[in-house]
Chains A and B, each alone.
Chain A
Amino acid sequence: MTEIRIPAPAVVKGPDAETTTNAPEREVFLPVDARRRTPLRTLRERLRWPLGIYTTPVAILVVWEILARAGVVSKTYAPAPTSIVKSAVDLWQQGVLGPDLAISLQRAGIGLAIGLTVGVVTGVLGGLLRSGEYLFNGLVQVLNTIPLLAVLPLMIVWFGIDELTKVLLISFGAGVPMYLNLFAAIRGVDQRLIEMARTTGAGTWRLVTRVLVPGALPGFLVGLRFSLAYSVLGLVAAETVNADKGLGFLITQGQTYLQTNQVFVGLVIYSLLGLLADQFVRALERVLLRWRPSYEAS
Chain B
Amino acid sequence: MEIKSMRFKANASASLANVVLQGNLKNAKGKFVTKRAEALKDLDDFEGTRDAAKAIRNKVIDNLDLWLERFERKALDTGAHVMWAKDGAEVCRLVTEIARKHGVKKVTKSKSMLSEEAGLNQALEAAGIQPVETDLGEYILQVDNNEPPSHIIAPAVHKSLDDVADLFHKVHGTPRKTEIPALTREAREVLREHFMTADMGLSGGNFLVAETGSVALVTNEGNGRMVTTMPKVHVVITGIEKVIPTLEDLSTLMRLLPRSATGQSISNYFSILTGVKKPEEHDGPEHLYFVLVDSGRADVVGGDFHEMLRCIRCGACMNHCPVYQTIGGHAYGWVYPGPMGSVLTPLYAGIENSIDLPHAATLCNQCGVVCPVGIPLPELLRKLREKQTDAGLRPLTERIGLRVWAWVAQKPTLYALGARFGARYLKWLAGKSDRISLLPMAPEWTRGREFPAPQGKTFREMYAARKGTAA
A binds B: no
Interface residues of A (CB under 8 A from B): none
